[in-house]
Amino acid sequence: MHRFVPFSLNLRGRLVEFSRPQIMGILNVTPDSFYSVSRKYDADSIARHARKLLDQGADMIDIGGYSSRPGADEVSEEEELSRLEMGIRTIREKVSKDIILSIDTFRANVARRAVAEFGADIVNDISGGDMDSGMMPAVAELGVPYVMMHMRGTPATMQSMTDYNDVTADVMSELASKLSLANDLGINDIIVDPGFGFAKDLPQNYQLMKNLDLLHTLGRPILVGISRKSMIYKALGCQPEEALTGTTALNTIALLQGASILRVHDAKEASDTLKIVTQTLNS
């Protein structure tokens, strides 16, 4: 067990302190994300879903315009930008000017425009800079927090790249190497994400979750994104639509190991889980 460690982020020149784990709600402005409920493709449905996430306990929202599931269609940079612009502007204009918005992209130019023009606060990069060498310099230039996820290859090739000596040690080593590079570039606020489901097979995902508390040696807040993923529904022999109970169980395990942010489709259940875990640990 590892207690939550408070952390802070510089969000557009404002230092924000976080005294408890945060709930990051998922909103996909895509037609093909693996969990259909998260797909919202017009302004009205985006606004409704964002309000629902916030009403049910989300502290921030992560917006994606490019599905990273294996086999997903390629999306041009122009199309990704168009989707993210609609999502961000809709939330800022119709829902909240102040809610923290993260954008899920691996493209440096998309990150630049989403932050500088559309109003995103955080860059969430599934490739940790591997899929666009300009990403880390762009984040350094923008001065925004960076979610650095561990992955090998691309979403199309990652499941052929699961050869680890020790998955936890290797993930930590690869993240540490990237942290060093990011620090040299002047990126100050970095959140690490071990990348559950990305270039890990089923046993490796659970080994990584079992040892999640070891990632605290990296000295960074930890984001855990396991919501309705295949590591749950394959283990249970069900579909993503039936994987909420398994998601809640894993989110509980993550919180008991000091997770800083839970990235979820189901904000109410995650928020309730957080309340119960906090009540227990503080008793």
- pLDDT tens-digit series, residues 184-228: 999 999 999 999 999 999 999 999 999 999 999 999 999 999 999
List of residues 6+ apart from 65 with CB closer than 8 A: 28, 29, 30, 75, 79, 80, 81, 82, 83, 84, 87, 103, 104, 105, 110
34 pLDDT more than 50:
no
Q: How far apart are CA 129 and CA 83, in angstroms?
A: 21
Whether 263 is catalytic = yes
Residue 94 is predicted with a pLDDT of: 95
Kindly name the residue from 113, 263, 268, 275 that is annotated as catalytic. 263
Q: How far apart are CA 157 and CA 21, in angstroms?
A: 32
Residue 156 is predicted with a pLDDT of: 81
Q: How far apart are CA 158 and CA 205, in angstroms?
A: 14
Residue 276 is predicted with a pLDDT of: 97
Residue 72 is predicted with a pLDDT of: 57
Q: How far apart are CA 58 and CA 136, in angstroms?
A: 27
Strands (DSSP E) contained in 99-218 are 100-104, 122-125, 146-149, 190-193
Whether 152 is catalytic = no
Cβ 80 vs Cβ 110: under 8 Å: yes
For residue 153, what pLDDT band results from cuts at 50, 70 and 90?
confident
Residue 154 is predicted with a pLDDT of: 84
Percent of the chain with pLDDT over 70: 94
Kindly name the residue from 229, 234, 268, 275 that is annotated as catalytic. 229
Residue 40 is predicted with a pLDDT of: 53
Domains defined for the chain, CATH in brackets: 7-281 (3.20.20.20)
One-letter amino acid for residue 122 of the chain:
I
pTM of structure: 0.94
- pLDDT tens-digit series, residues 41-85: 688 999 999 999 999 999 999 999 987 666 556 789 999 999 999
List of residues 6+ apart from 163 with CB closer than 8 A: none
